[in-house]
Amino acid sequence: MIRVDLITGFLGAGKSSFLLRYAGHLLSRGMRLGILVYDHGAVNVDLPLLNSLRSDRCELETLAASCDADCHRRRFRSRLISMAMCGYDRILIEPSGVFDMDEFFDAMHEEPLDKWLEIGNVICIVDAKLPDESLPEEDYFLASEAACAGAVVLSRVQLASKGELLQAVVHLRSALRDIGSSEDLNGRLCASDWAELTETELDAISRCGYRLPDYVKRYSGSAGFQALSFLNLPLGIDALREKTCELFGDPAFGRILRVKGFFLDAGSSYELNATEHACSIREAADSHGVITVIGRDLNENAIHLLLTGKQPILHIL
């Protein structure tokens, strides 16, 4: 049986960054890995972040998550069947940040997958700089993902104050109570700087397991979260940073939760990763240009006009 690990967490938590660290650890243990990545949108912008893992012992797969829920479940199941035939020691899955946990557990217990694959670990990434308040839909996904996890790993610990760390844990426990979950974080919370994670700590995470908790399921599918993708935007670093800040600062664009992707400026490739509280732009090896805006109640026309300078002609993917 091939063990399958799910690396989950709400939008912008840092799943891809953790996956890089975690997969590197498993590869150092001599494992052969298959990694499946899919995002909330028509264009996947997380996969290029993981390209450095590609080797004869690590293969990367992607799955489009922009179709309806039933279609996506069929595609997810089919992709797992094909990956089960490849002889991996372990499969790692990084889903969208607005992920229905039942989709994973249901697929893993369906024939013929239940004969080839077994659930290894569910690892939930939670931002150590969680805001004090979030929308109910956001807290639902945060809590449902954490409730099922064998390990809850805080990201950006090195950037958070002790007060912010405490507030993040308080926020998470409150969100768990709101969905009727009695799951305790004691014994499964990791609050270490990822750069300082020891091999012993990573080994422990790789054996953390998972939980099947009781909680009130309030939403299914993506619960109204939207993603707009833009190819080859004619914007340089300064202009894109300014417009990204404008998206988060003006409610007329909708509830913006994440802006991420890659873009070109003066012949060089850069990675953009922005949330309401931070905007990071750094050089990247990837050369294609795609920016994805994720949120709720998005004003597609206004966002398109801001980023492209033109009124949209067709509906944005």
Task: Give burial (CB, 10 Å; 0-12/13-18/19+) of 299.
Answer: middle
Q: What is the reported pTM?
A: 0.88
Residues of the chain within CATH 3.30.1220.10 domain(s) are 225-308
190-248 per-position pLDDT tens digit: 999 999 999 999 999 999 999 999 999 887 766 778 888 898 888 999 999 999 999 99
What's the pLDDT at 65?
62
Judge: domain 2-205, CATH 3.40.50.300: yes
Token duo for residue 7: 């690396």
Q: Please state the length of the chain.
A: 317
What's the pLDDT at 167?
94
Cα–Cα dist 179/194, whole Å:
29
- Highest mean pLDDT among 52-56, 63-67, 138-142 belongs to 138-142
User: Measuring CA to CA, which residue among 84, 87, 153, 86 is closest to residue 122?
Assistant: 153
The arrangement of secondary structure in 225-308, i.e. its CATH architecture, is 2-Layer Sandwich (3.30)
Q: Give strand pairing partners of 3.
A: 90, 118
**For a pLDDT cut of 70, what percent of the chain falls above it?**
91
79-93 per-position pLDDT tens digit: 999 999 999 999 999
Token duo for residue 77: 């199941």
Say which residues have a Cβ less than 8 Å from residue 134's Cβ, sequence separation at least 6. 142, 171, 175
Phi, psi torsion values for 34, nearest 5 degrees? -120, 130
Q: CB–CB of 117/84 below 8 Å?
A: yes
Q: How confident is the model at residue 317 (pLDDT cuts 50, 70, 90)?
A: very low
156-166 per-position pLDDT tens digit: 999 999 999 99
Residues of the chain within CATH 3.40.50.300 domain(s) are 2-205
User: Measuring CA to CA, which residue among 56, 47, 65 is closest to residue 86?
Assistant: 56
Cα–Cα dist 113/143, whole Å:
27
